[in-house]
Every structure is written in C-alpha cells, then in structure tokens.
Amino acid sequence: MSTTVDPLLADNTLNDPRRRSPLVLGGLDYAGVTKTVCAVASETTPPPLWFLAFALSVSWAGVFGLCIAYLIFTGVGVWGNNNPVYWAFDITNFVFWVGIGHAGTLISAILFLFRQKWRTSINRAAEAMTIFAVICAAIFPGIHVGRAWLAYWLAPYPNQMAMWPNFRSPLLWDVFAVSTYFTVSALFWFMGMIPDIATLRDQSKSKIRQFVYGVLSLGWTGSSRQWHRYEKAYMILAALSTPLVLSVHTIVSFDFAVSQVPGWHTTIFPPYFVAGAIFSGFAMVVTLLVPTRVICGLENLVTIRHLENMNKIILATGCMVGYAYGIEFFIAWYGGNPYETDTFLNRAFGPYWWAYWTMVSCNVISPQLFWFKKIRTTPWMMLIVCIFVNIGMWFERFVIIVTSLARDALPSAWHYFTPTNIDLLMLIGSFGVFFSLFLLFCRFLPVVAMAEVKSIMVEHHHEDHGHGHGGHAHGGHGGRH
C-alpha cells in the first residue's frame, strides 16, 4: 500500500495539469460500482425519507390531476388569463418544463461527442429528468386548447372534415419538435439503460423483478457483438440528438419570435432560448442530484467534481443569458423603434418590475456566485444558487410572455394579469408529477449508468486497485478524466 494519500483522491476538485482528477472515488472497483448502484434499486425497503418524499409528491400530483379535471369540466376561465393576456401561466409552465428537459440529452449527446467522461455518472439521472420534464411540459398545451378531449386535432391527419392544422404556425412545429424530442430522448435513455437493466436482472432475487427486468433488458447477454452494436447505435443516437437539442427550444422561441409583438420579435431568440434551456436544465440536475447522491449513497460516483463541472456550465450559460438580456436592451434602444424601447422600459420599470428584477437577480446575478470555488463545491450553497436559477428561469418566461401581452399596442386594452389559485396549484402540482416520477425512477431503475462509468475506469481498475496512485505521469488513463 502507498504510504502517502494522493491529494487528488482526497479532493478531486483539485487540478493538476499533468494528470486527470479521478472521477470515481472511495477505491471502488467494478464490483463496487455495481454494488453501489444496485443497492439503490434493491429489494429491501427504501428509507422512510423516500416514502415521505413520495407521499408528498404524489399528493401534489393528485392536486394537479384534480385541477385538470376541474379545468376540463369548467373551462379555461378557471385560470387568470384575460384579454389581452391570452397566454400566461400555462405557456410559461410549458416553456419552463421544456427548458428543464434540455440538460439530459445535452449531457448524453453533446457532452458525449465532446468526450467529456465525467458525464457518465450523471447522464442517466439527467436523461430521466429530461423525460419527466417533457411529460410535465406536454400536459400544459394539451389542456390549454380548451376542449382537451379534442387535443388530438393538434396532429395533422386525413379526416372527413378536410380540416388541417395551420402548417405556417410555429405552434404546430412545436407539436412535431417536442414529440420528436420526447421519442428520441426516451429511446436514447432506454437503449443506454439496457446493459444496466440486465445487471439488475442478474442481481435480483425476487421472481417478479427478474421477470420485469428480464423483459426490459431485451435478452442482453453482454457479448462483444452486442456491445459493438450498442456502441454504434449510441453514437448514431448521439449525433441525431445533437441537432434535436438545439431545434426544440429554437422552435419554442419561434412561438414568440416570428410574431411582430415588441419584446417577442428579436433575432437572438433561438440561441438565447437554447442557452437558457441548458442553464435551467443543469440547475435542475444539480437540484436533484445534491440530495439524491446523499440519500442514495452515491457520493463516490457523483463526486463534488461532477457537481462543480455542472456549476461551471451553469455559470457559463448564465452569462450567455445575461448577454442576451443586455443585447436585447441595447438593440431596443439602438433600433430606434419607440414601441420596442417602451416594451423594455416597461419590463424593467412598469407594473411587472418585480418579476423582471426577480429574473435578473436569479438568472444573471446569482450564478455569478459560482466564480467562487467554495460556493461551486459546497453542496448546500450550490443547491441554494440552483434553486434561485430555477425560480429565475420560470420568471424569465413569465416576463417575456406576460409583460409583452399585458400592455399591447392598444392602451385601452391593457390589463394586468393576476394568477388564480388554480394557476398556482397547477404550477406546484406539475412539480408533484415531476418528483413522483423521479422518485419512482430512483427506486426501480439504475440511477447511474454503471456500464458507462466502468468504461472510463478500465485502466484505473488495472493499475491502482488497492493503491493510492501509480506512476500517472500522463493522461489517457481511464477513470481519471
């Protein structure tokens, strides 16, 4: 055994340019990784905390369901929407949740193409979160159509009424973009999970679990031919998903930007929305993983370095969002269009000033705290910042949607929007759905991509099993990226 402790193993947020910091701590080997991850989805009773959280989430999901039922029986008048604010909480919630749903596929596709090996510990949970967020998002336009039982009219299909949706409307492109994104993300998530589900199948003792995991693992044996196909498919799905990550929020931004509404129509919207989506998505991943890694005992896999890396991405995308706010304001003045200038002054100093400054404080100022390493690497501190970011990104959509509508081109029509209790309950309720699904995922599926984590610790396993460190002068060593 080594007599000295490797400083990078003691604190893997330290940087030594000569070698990569370890991404798996606690001296875990292959078996250790399997044991750690499978323990989370084990057959023993989960901790009481899980039941408490689940009961709370499911209750709120139930409230959401009741609100939807009430809305369908009564009509969208139960919301605070008015004339001219025809879009309010419903579309805000939709854009908010779609935005959250961008981190997972970014991590599994774009960070994969960029060979960011640290993504392996977090991609599974982030992809799951993506799917659940898109589910939450899809509910809102579905019920906003008013007659929710006719929501299928959103899809173009030949019918005897010869009635088609408007192909020129970005709202229809949304239907395509979001459903494509959901399908590909779900496929990517499931396909990536097959080897790990097979591991759960092999580790399970209960007959029911063996059967269910057996069916879901599609007969995976781990043969080299299967791995070969799996890796090819993974690469293809990553390449296909990359433009999808950009396209979904680009099209969501088109919902606003193709119009002539001041504050909505501006050319920076597509990349600005994508940056904002990644920003909010990563903030939600950190918000979920900080407690999850402790409760599920994953500290050696989802290390402080993983969290720090995500916080750096949050800082970078937060600056991009701040850049977009600044450029919008500058061009609103520079463009010389009085309506545009007025809209922006109205945002900052009009009746919704409180929403605007909440947005700026949460989205632009709070992530600047991540310049300090202490805050980037201390779980409770980053959790606070990330919750602020989540709040700020919800307000960003609220500010964009409501301020531009509430004071439209006709001053006599101006109308202040106030949410009803149903609006608020539905917003909270959608979190209930999201957390319920995430808690079920933690309970029954592999929360960390075991096979992928093992793939980056190949040489680590051979070289320093049981040792502090070997002669790592060079990079290229798995497990240390």
Partner 1 sequence: MADTLDHSIEPQETVGRACVGLSTGLLVAGAIGLGLTVAIELLFGTGAKGFFHRYLVAFAFCMTITLGSLFFVLIQHLTKAGWSASVRRIAEIYTLGTIPLAVLFLPILVSILLGSHALYEWNDVEHVKTDALLLGKSGYLNAGFFSVRAVIYFLVWIGLARLFVYTSVRQDVVGSPDLTSRMEAWSAPGTLAFSLTASFAAFDWLMSLAPHWYSTIFGVYVFAGCLVACFATMAITVLWLKSKGFLKTAVNVEHQHDLGKLLFAFTCFWAYIAFSQYFLIWYANIPEETVWYKARLSAWKPVSGFLAIGHFILPFIFFMSRHIKRNSYLLGFWAVWGLLMHWLDLYWIVMPQMSSEALTFSLSDVTVLVGVVGIWGGTIGLLARDMSVLAVSDPRLPEALAFKNL
Stretch that binds partner 1, among 14-22, 90-98, 216-224, 283-291 (CB under 8 A): 14-22
Write the Ramachandran bin of 24: left for phi over 0, alpha for psi from -120 to 50, otherwise beta. Answer: beta
Stretch that binds partner 1, among 38-46, 194-202, 279-287, 329-337 (CB under 8 A): 329-337
Q: How far is the CB of 247 from partner 1 (least distance, A)?
A: 9
Size of the site for partner 1 (CB under 8 A): 39
For 162-268, where are the alpha helices, taking DSSP H only?
170-203, 207-216, 224-257
Read off the tokens for 118: 């640290």
Residue of the chain from 260, 374, 411, 466 that contacts partner 1 (CB under 8 A): 260
Residue of the chain from 4, 18, 31, 149 that contacts partner 1 (CB under 8 A): 18
Q: How far is the CB of 271 from partner 1 (least distance, A)?
A: 6
Pick out residues in 440-479 that bind partner 1 (CB under 8 A).
Answer: 473-476
Q: Does 166 bind partner 1 (CB under 8 A)?
A: no
Q: Does 71 bind partner 1 (CB under 8 A)?
A: no
Q: Kindly give, in sequence order, each residue whose CB lies less than 8 Å from that of residue 451, ignoring residues fewer than 6 positions away.
A: 195, 196, 199
CA 333 to CA 340: how far, in whole Å?
Answer: 8
Q: Does 7 bind partner 1 (CB under 8 A)?
A: no
Pick out residues in 359-398 that bind partner 1 (CB under 8 A).
Answer: 371
Residue of the chain from 47, 65, 146, 243 that contacts partner 1 (CB under 8 A): 243
Read off the tokens for 187: 């496929």
Residue indicated by tokens 């991405």: 313
Rounded to a whole number of angstroms, the distance between the first and last alpha carbons of the chain is 24
Distances (CA, A) of 363 to 121, 345, 358: 26, 19, 8
Stretch that binds partner 1, among 100-108, 188-196, 258-266, 403-411 (CB under 8 A): 258-266
> Which residue, 296, 294, 212, is CA-closest to 39?
296
Residue of the chain from 15, 74, 206, 418 that contacts partner 1 (CB under 8 A): 15
> Which residue, 467, 423, 457, 439, is CA-closest to 144?
423
Read off the tokens for 290: 């900080």
Q: Does 245 bind partner 1 (CB under 8 A)?
A: no
Q: Does 66 bind partner 1 (CB under 8 A)?
A: no
CA 402 to CA 423: how far, in whole Å?
Answer: 14
- Binding string to partner 1 for residues 307 to 326, with x set by CB under 8 A, is what? ------------x---xx--
CA 262 to CA 328: how far, in whole Å?
Answer: 11
> Which residue, 36, 14, 1, 152, is CA-closest to 457?
36
Residue of the chain from 80, 156, 165, 271 that contacts partner 1 (CB under 8 A): 271
Residue of the chain from 250, 280, 430, 436 that contacts partner 1 (CB under 8 A): 250
Residue of the chain from 1, 3, 4, 17 that contacts partner 1 (CB under 8 A): 17
CA 61 to CA 456: how far, in whole Å?
Answer: 38
Residue of the chain from 90, 127, 174, 328 that contacts partner 1 (CB under 8 A): 328
Q: Does 65 bind partner 1 (CB under 8 A)?
A: no
Q: Does 337 bind partner 1 (CB under 8 A)?
A: yes
Q: How far is the CB of 270 from partner 1 (least distance, A)?
A: 4
Longest Cα–Cα distance in the chain: 81
Tell whether omega for the bond before 156 is within 30 degrees of 0, i.e. cis: no
Contact 88, 267 (CB under 8 A): no
> Which residue, 60, 405, 127, 152, is CA-closest to 288?
127
Q: Does 280 bind partner 1 (CB under 8 A)?
A: no
Q: Does 348 bind partner 1 (CB under 8 A)?
A: no
Q: How far is the CB of 256 from partner 1 (least distance, A)?
A: 10
Q: Does 269 bind partner 1 (CB under 8 A)?
A: yes
Tell whether omega for the bond before 84 is within 30 degrees of 0, i.e. cis: yes
Residue of the chain from 1, 73, 115, 412 that contacts partner 1 (CB under 8 A): 115
Q: Does 270 bind partner 1 (CB under 8 A)?
A: yes
CA 256 to CA 248: how far, in whole Å?
Answer: 14
Tell me the β-bridge partners of 19. 16
Residue of the chain from 145, 154, 327, 365 that contacts partner 1 (CB under 8 A): 327
Q: Does 246 bind partner 1 (CB under 8 A)?
A: yes
Residue of the chain from 160, 223, 267, 412 that contacts partner 1 (CB under 8 A): 267
The DSSP element (H or E) to which 99 belongs, if any, is helix 89-100
Q: Does 282 bind partner 1 (CB under 8 A)?
A: no
Q: How far is the CB of 409 from partner 1 (least distance, A)?
A: 13
Tell me the β-bridge partners of 16. 19
CA 94 to CA 397: how far, in whole Å?
Answer: 9
Residue type, 351: P
Stretch that binds partner 1, among 207-215, 250-258, 354-362, 409-417 (CB under 8 A): 250-258
Q: How far is the CB of 83 from partner 1 (least distance, A)?
A: 23
- Between 200 and 324, name the residue whose CB sits nearer to partner 1: 324
Give the interface with partner 1 as residue ranges (CB under 8 A).
15-18, 20, 114-115, 231, 235, 243, 246, 250, 254, 257-260, 265-271, 319, 323-324, 327-328, 331, 334-337, 371, 473-476
